[in-house]
Amino acid sequence: MSRWIWSALLVLGPLGGVGCDHAATTRPDEAAAPGPLAAAPVEPIAETPQPVAVRINAEYGKHDAAGWTKRFEHDGREVYDRRHEIVAALGLTPGLRVADVGAGSGLFTRLFAEAVGPSGRVYAVDVQADFLTQIAARAEADGQAQVETRRADQRRTGLDPGSIDVAFLCDAYHHLELPKTYLADLHRALVPGGRLVIIDYDRSRPGTEAWMKDHIRADPPQLLGEIEAAGFTPTAVSLRLEENFVAVFTR
Ligand SMILES: C[S@@+](CC[C@H](N)C(=O)[O-])C[C@H]1O[C@@H](n2cnc3c(N)ncnc32)[C@H](O)[C@@H]1O
């Protein structure tokens, strides 16, 4: 899809919602530890790992979860400064099941948990066990029993098929090392009509620094084209950010 069509989609109407009821299955602390993935087996997809994503994910060994939290949750980071606006734009309602994929410090996990309430569920999905342990501890301290952690790997989200209404990736899509394979698993995890929300840095912006150009492997049209090719349908979005692009797809 061409760049201008994407731009047009970004300024159209509000984000839609999908509602449903479901039962809680696992306590947050039970799922935080590394272990076998809960997801169904995935048919193999021939895919070469994205070298940039492999390189940037290797950075996670350089700090612990607390160190990364300081880097993710600070004034001046656009998605932090505008976090409440971002969550409001999703129109989450009580009872929804949301996956915060690439949850990191749990910045959005906590806000999603407030939005979907005790009858909803928020899956904090990450490849780093440290982050999940921190998220589970914080959820317990905050009394957010609706938060459940899922350990992903680069092929699988760890989410059960048909188990989520909304998948949200903030600053995370460009970290996927095997996007085609992972998107197929995410597609399985979403209910029909469920939403996939992507927020990521737009490296095609004028003035983008060289390190950022190296950090994000492609411009938005390529990244969004990959998602469409994986069987997701682009849909209208009302939210606009300055540094990041926002895109919503339905399954
Ligand atoms: C830049 S952080 C973003 C954290 C959070 N979404 C935010 O915006 O504050 C990227 C996160 O993606 C995670 N990640 C990398 N590959 C992943 C994968 N295949 N599945 C889930 N998480 C992944 C990293 O461990 C890291 O926590």
The CB of 107 under 6 Å from ligand 1? The reply is yes
What is the C-alpha separation between 224 and 247, in angstroms, rounded? Answer: 8
Q: What is the mean predicted confidence (pLDDT) over 114-140?
A: 97
- Average pLDDT of every residue of the chain: 87
Task: State pTM to two decimals.
Answer: 0.87
What is the C-alpha separation between 221 and 216, in angstroms, rounded? Answer: 13
The CB of 152 under 6 Å from ligand 1? The reply is yes
For residue 198, the cross-strand partners are 169, 247
Secondary structure, 3-state, the chain: CCHHHHHHHHHCCCCCCCCCCCCCCCCHHHHCCCCCCCCCCCCCCCCCCCHHHHHHHHHHHHCCHHHHHHHHCCCCCHHHHCHHHHHHHHCCCCCCEEEEECCCCCHHHHHHHHHHCCCCEEEEEECCHHHHHHHHHHHHHHCCCCEEEEECCCCCCCCCCCCEEEEEEECCHHHCCCHHHHHHHHHHHEEEEEEEEEEEECCCCCCCCHHHHHHCCCCHHHHHHHHHHCCCEEECCCCCCCCEEEEEEEC
| Per-residue confidence (pLDDT) for residue 220, from 0 to 100 | 97
What is the C-alpha separation between 101 and 159, in angstroms, rounded? Answer: 10
The CB of 68 under 6 Å from ligand 1? The reply is no
| Per-residue confidence (pLDDT) for residue 12, from 0 to 100 | 35
How do residues 43-101 score in pLDDT, each as one tens digit? 678 899 999 999 999 998 788 999 999 999 999 999 999 999 999 999 999 999 999 99
Q: Please determine, for residue 16, whether its predicted confidence score (pLDDT) is greater than 90.
A: no
Q: Give 35's pLDDT tier (boundaries 50, 70, 90).
A: very low
| Per-residue confidence (pLDDT) for residue 62, from 0 to 100 | 81
- In this structure, the chain runs to a length of 251
Nearest residue CA, atom 4 of ligand 1?
Answer: 104
Task: Answer yes or no: are the C-beta atoms of 201 and 244 closer than 8 Å.
Answer: yes
Q: Please determine, for residue 29, whether its predicted confidence score (pLDDT) is greater than 60.
A: no
The phi and psi torsions of 10 (rounded to 5 degrees) equal -70, -20
Nearest residue CA, atom 13 of ligand 1?
Answer: 102
The CB of 182 under 6 Å from ligand 1? The reply is yes
